[in-house]
Amino acid sequence: MSALRKILVVDDDPIVGKSFNRVLSQDKGYVVITAQNAAEALDKMREQAYDLVFTDIKMPGMDGVELAERVRANQPWTPVVIVTGYGTTANEQRAKAAGVSAFLNKPLSPEMIVESAAHALRQPALTVVEQPETQAVEIVLPEPVAKRSLLKHMGLSLAAPFIGLAYALFFPVVGLAMLAWIGGKALVSKFPSMATVARLIRNVALFIAAPFVGLVYALMFPFVGLAMLAWIGGKALIEKTHDVK
């Protein structure tokens, strides 16, 4: 046989406790313990654990909603059901804010008592989750900085193919020109009479390289200009948007 569920009924009218005890008899799997007021109920809950609490609202001293708040604060896993003959909208709102499982208006039928108990006990128990002592801190850049970085990466991605093309076209010419220059200087130092020939070779190399240099400039200049305009415009737009915010 499974363990009996312990139910605490809090009401200053002893007839109410007897009614719950009669309806929720042991053959239905419950044991009913009664308390005359909220203070007595809290004392009983400190002595032993209960699976469910039924409480009236109107009682001497602490009322039922305050009792529900205390139970939810100290034992959030214990469901609380409000039973009252003062079923006003204000009381219902207070009970809802206190996190009760149900709000029942008197008079109660035996079916209402049994169903409300079963419903409250079916609800999953609340668990207390401890927060870790340290949490990872996400570093978020200011919005203008993030947007500028995005524009920069977009500009570099667009310009990368053309920069590579410029290197591919220009690098061989530069290499040949450097070799010609070094060879010419060595030739002149060894044969001073070859100075005129060395100058001629240099001029021919520059003449040959000039079209390629011009081609590189012609290819790169529009894209460099567009990139500069996009950068300036994007920067101004970001600053304007930031100022509006």
- pLDDT 10s digits, 176-224: 667 666 766 666 666 666 667 667 766 776 677 677 767 766 766 676 6
- Of 101, 63, 114, 70, nearest to 85 by C-alpha is 63
* The model's pTM: 0.50
Per-residue pLDDT at 236 exceeds 60: yes
Taking the C-alpha atoms of residue 215 and residue 210, their distance in angstroms, rounded to an integer, is 9
Residue range 33-92, pLDDT digits in tens? 999 999 999 999 999 999 999 999 999 999 999 999 999 999 999 999 999 887 788 888
Q: Is residue 86 domain-resident?
A: yes
Q: How many CB atoms lie within 10 A of CB 148?
A: 17
Give the pLDDT band of residue 1 (cuts 50, 70, 90). Answer: very low
Q: Tell me: do 15 and 96 sit in the same domain.
A: yes
Residues pairing with 103 in the sheet: 82
What CATH number is associated with residue 107? 3.40.50.2300
Q: Tell me: do 89 and 148 sit in the same domain.
A: no
Taking the C-alpha atoms of residue 40 and residue 20, their distance in angstroms, rounded to an integer, is 18
Q: Tell me: do 80 and 175 sit in the same domain.
A: no
Per-residue pLDDT at 130 exceeds 70: no
Q: Is residue 129 domain-resident?
A: no
Q: Tell me: do 147 and 115 sit in the same domain.
A: no
Give the pLDDT band of residue 122 (cuts 50, 70, 90). Answer: confident
* Number of domains composing the chain: 2
Q: Tell me: do 110 and 160 sit in the same domain.
A: no
Q: Tell me: do 116 and 149 sit in the same domain.
A: no
Question: What's the Cα-to-Cα distance from 222 to each of 155, 204, 217, rounded to whole Å?
Answer: 13, 29, 9
Domain residue limits at 205: 143-244
Q: Tell me: do 115 and 64 sit in the same domain.
A: yes
Backbone angles phi, psi at 62, to 5 degrees: -65, 130
Q: Tell me: do 115 and 155 sit in the same domain.
A: no
